[in-house]
């Protein structure tokens, strides 16, 4: 006769279960061993980039998105900057701006709506290294290097955001951010550092831009897109000035394309366009 338990299990099955439980109790499950890839709370990780004697250290906290960007040369710290979060990885562009040069680009975003990005430009040529920074304003994309007529080497395309949310005091004229013009400008490597280009320096480049924008303004005017047409007119006048044309000719662009309610203020606006084109200076020299 086979003996059964109160739970309906046979005695030999109960004995086997007891043996399994005893074996499990004797087995020790090891804890996971910490590896070099673990990130203890509060610790930081640093990544370094080199360009000649210049070094770029990016120190990231394991928790949170902020990081510290620091340039140094040997034991000398040249500059540091706290950034909200990373937008683009630092990269080295070979043979730029000239064949015997290399350029390291690093971006620092301040955080907040639309704004603001600072670009650090480390350039190494046979003559040595330089370090500049450029205020890119609301720009979110990576800068581009191009070759254009009249340039000795590659130039850098950036944007002038001085007309973001543009409006006049005591006037109903006001551009939304979506309609605000962001004028294309060029940075030139000159005398060992980067600088903004000047009116008349790249006539062909800005003449082509002016023609393109005037075509868009014609289309926008036919469709009665008032705010966009005014924005395109400002941009076209700006490019006319940068191509070396006189102020009077640039002012005629506003008279041609401006919607009726904008025309009474065209004199004030062309003055702002002239000021913006001549005063655009986003680059500061660090070393």
In this structure, the dihedral spanned by the alpha carbons of residues 255, 261, 264 and 269, taken in order and rounded to 10 degrees, is -70
What is the spatial distance between Cα 121 and Cα 119, in angstroms, rounded to a whole number? 6
Shared domain for 129 and 148, answered yes or no, is no
Q: Is residue 4 part of a domain?
A: no
Q: Which of residues 93, 116, 140 is at a domain's end?
A: 140
Distance from the first to the final alpha carbon of the chain: 97
Shared domain for 247 and 182, answered yes or no, is yes
What is the spatial distance between Cα 102 and Cα 92, in angstroms, rounded to a whole number? 7
Domain tally, the chain: 2
pLDDT of the residue at 148: 97
Expressed as residue numbers, the domain containing 156 is: 143-281
Q: Is residue 173 part of a domain?
A: yes
3-state secondary structure of 175: coil
Neighbouring residues of 136: CB distance < 8 A, sequence distance ≥ 6 = 107, 116, 117, 118, 119, 143, 158, 159, 282
Question: Which among 215, 264, 268, 273 is positioned nearest to 239, based on CA atoms?
Answer: 273
CB atoms within 10 A of CB 87: 13
Shared domain for 47 and 127, answered yes or no, is yes
Shared domain for 239 and 147, answered yes or no, is yes
Q: Which token pair is 125?
A: 């040529």
Burial of 13 (0-12, 13-18, 19+ CB in 10 A): exposed
3-state secondary structure of 275: helix
Tens digit of each residue's pLDDT, the chain (287 residues) = 333 334 344 445 334 434 433 433 333 222 222 233 444 445 577 889 999 999 999 998 756 668 899 999 999 999 999 998 778 999 999 999 999 999 999 999 987 666 789 999 999 999 899 999 999 999 989 999 999 999 999 999 999 999 999 999 888 889 999 999 999 999 999 999 999 999 999 999 999 999 999 999 999 999 999 999 999 999 999 999 999 999 999 999 999 999 999 999 999 999 999 999 999 999 999 99
Q: Which token pair is 259?
A: 């919607």
Shared domain for 157 and 218, answered yes or no, is yes
In this structure, the dihedral spanned by the alpha carbons of residues 87, 51, 76 and 155, taken in order and rounded to 10 degrees, is -70
What is the spatial distance between Cα 257 and Cα 273, in angstroms, rounded to a whole number? 15
pLDDT of the residue at 71: 97
What is the spatial distance between Cα 38 and Cα 270, in angstroms, rounded to a whole number? 59
What is the spatial distance between Cα 121 and Cα 105, in angstroms, rounded to a whole number? 5
Q: Is residue 29 part of a domain?
A: no
Shared domain for 109 and 223, answered yes or no, is no
Q: Which of residues 125, 140, 155 is at a domain's end?
A: 140
pLDDT of the residue at 4: 38
Shared domain for 190 and 242, answered yes or no, is yes
pLDDT of the residue at 64: 61
Shared domain for 153 and 250, answered yes or no, is yes
pTM of the predicted protein model: 0.82
Question: Which among 140, 147, 155, 64 is positioned nearest to 107, based on CA atoms?
Answer: 140
């Amino acid at each position: 006769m086979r003996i059964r338990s109160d739970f309906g299990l046979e005695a030999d099955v109960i004995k086997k279960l007891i043996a399994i439980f005893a074996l499990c109790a004797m087995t020790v499950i090891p804890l996971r061993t910490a590896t070099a890839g673990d990130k203890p709370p509060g610790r930081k990780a640093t990544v370094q980039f080199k360009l000649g004697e210049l070094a770029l250290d990016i120190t990231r906290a394991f928790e949170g998105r902020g990081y510290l960007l620091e340039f140094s040369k040997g034991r000398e710290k040249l500059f540091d900057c706290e950034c909200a979060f990373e937008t683009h990885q630092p990269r080295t562009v070979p043979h730029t701006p000239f064949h015997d040069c290399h350029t390291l680009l690093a971006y620092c975003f301040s955080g907040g709506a639309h704004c603001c990005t600072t670009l650090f430009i480390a350039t190494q040529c046979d003559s040595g290294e330089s370090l500049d920074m450029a205020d890119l304003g609301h720009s979110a994309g990576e800068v581009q290097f191009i070759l254009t007529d009249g340039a000795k080497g590659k130039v850098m395309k950036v944007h002038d955001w001085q007309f973001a949310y543009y409006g006049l005091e005591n006037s109903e004229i006001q551009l939304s951010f979506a309609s605000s013009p962001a004028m294309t400008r060029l940075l030139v490597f000159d005398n060992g550092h980067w600088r903004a280009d000047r009116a008349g320096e790249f006539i062909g480049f800005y003449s082509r831009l002016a023609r393109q924008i005037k075509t868009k303004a014609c289309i926008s005017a036919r469709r009665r897109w008032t705010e966009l047409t005014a924005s395109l007119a400002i941009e076209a006048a700006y490019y006319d000035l940068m191509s070396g044309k006189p102020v009077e000719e640039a002012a005629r662009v506003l008279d041609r394309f401006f919607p009726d309610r904008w025309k009474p203020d065209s004199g004030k606006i062309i003055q702002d366009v002239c000021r913006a084109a001549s005063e655009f200076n986003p680059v500061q020299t660090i070393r």
